[in-house]
Amino acid sequence: MSMTVEQMTKIFRLVMDDVELNRLLYYKDDPLSPSHPDVQSLENYYNSTNDSPAIINTIFKRAPKTDDLSDSPLCRMCVYLGNALPKPTNQSFMLLNQELMIDVYTHINTFEISEYRSLKIIDRVSKLFFNKNIAGFGVTVDYRRLLISNPPDGYLGYKMIFTFGASK
């Protein structure tokens, strides 16, 4: 397995395994309530049923996939690599700044109507990634949050861009 694939697998595993993040993405009402079981413990978290796909395959994507969001109201997080550019200091051709893209989509009438769910998700992701050495990429050197200007109908979207120092 390539080093980049290995690093992305670790990053994806980090978000998939986070209990609070899963709750924020999955539960419609009061996601952090102890009355809800952990999403990862639900029977259809990893396995699809006759009626629906596995929860994990619905709320997490490894690419910016949104064409199926109109099927049912939900929250989704897309996690993928962005640009890798030489460091501006030109210390070495082997050093890069690697962007990690995280898109967060929340259905407005279901999740945003009674709370700022997208902002709660963004805050949780920031705690997981900001100023941390993640999966061998290095420490975050820059962070940006942008409004996605053309999300699917009925959705609010934010793009988080974490830049890490990395080597080729």
The per-residue pLDDT for range 17-28, each reduced to its tens digit, is 999 999 999 999
The domain limits of the chain are 3-15+73-167
Burial of residue 42 (number of CB atoms within 10 Å: 0-12, 13-18, 19+)? middle
Question: Would you state the pLDDT for residue 159?
Answer: 98
CA pair distance 7, 3, nearest whole angstrom: 6
Does residue 94 or residue 104 have the better pLDDT? Answer: 104
Tokens of 148: 């996605």
- Supply the pTM of this predicted model: 0.90
Provide CB contacts within 8 A for 75, sequence distance 6+: 24, 25, 26, 59, 104, 105, 106, 107, 111, 117, 118, 121
The 3-state DSSP class for residue 88 equals coil
Question: Would you state the pLDDT for residue 51?
Answer: 76
Q: For 3-15+73-167, CATH number? A: 3.30.2000.10
Share of residues in the chain with pLDDT > 90 (%): 62
Question: Would you state the pLDDT for residue 106?
Answer: 98
